[in-house]
Amino acid sequence: MYELTPTQSGWTETILHNFFGNDGSMLWGGLIFDSAGNLYGATASGGVNGGGTVFELSPSGSNWNLSVLYSLSGEPQQRPAGPVSGLTMDAAGNLYGGTTKDGLDDEGAVFKLTPNGGSWAYTSLHDFDNNGQQGQSAWGSVLRDTAGNVYGTTVVGGQNGNGVVFEITP
């Protein structure tokens, strides 16, 4: 992961973090900031459970410290298993995302991570199943409206097998 800083002669690249497997791999999605200047993101693979990680990068002087907030499960042989898109954060600091091969049937899931006294609690909002009618493999970012509904897309499943647009209500 890197930062590009404009200079008079072009751009300067600064490496913020090199992923090594246990902290995640395959960083495909975007990053989001919180109000304190911390960065949040997810990896599509790696982590101690093989299904990707959700992480926080905190500024510390001229460096950044990485903390793995949660290590997702999934079929690590079926890469990518975890999130391939960015996360969404609500006003309370909860993180939302979707996975490609996590969940009860390894067909993807939509999740919420809640800060909980120095750790993060995982809640599955929806696990996609093997029949595929409701979709499988959430590849896009999830969005949340003011009523707490979560929206997203899958790349597989649905009536024609080409994915669905879904809504999860609280």
Note the pLDDT of residue 95.
97
Predicted confidence (pLDDT) per residue in 75-109, tens digit: 656 668 889 999 999 999 999 999 998 888 888 99
Please state, for a pLDDT cut of 70, what percent of the chain lies above it.
Answer: 97
Instruction: For the chain, give the mean pLDDT.
Output: 91
Residues 6+ apart with CB under 8 A from 19: 1, 25, 27, 43, 46
pLDDT at 75: 66
* pLDDT confidence of residue 78: 61
pLDDT in tens, 5-21: 999 999 999 899 999 88
pTM, whole model, 2 decimals? 0.91
Q: Per-residue pLDDT tens for 128-163?
A: 988 878 888 898 899 999 999 999 999 988 888 899
Fold held by 24-168: Neuraminidase (2.120.10)
pLDDT in tens, 102-135: 888 888 999 999 999 989 999 999 999 888 788 8
Residue 156 CA to residue 112 CA, distance in Å, equals 22
Residue 43: pLDDT over 70: yes
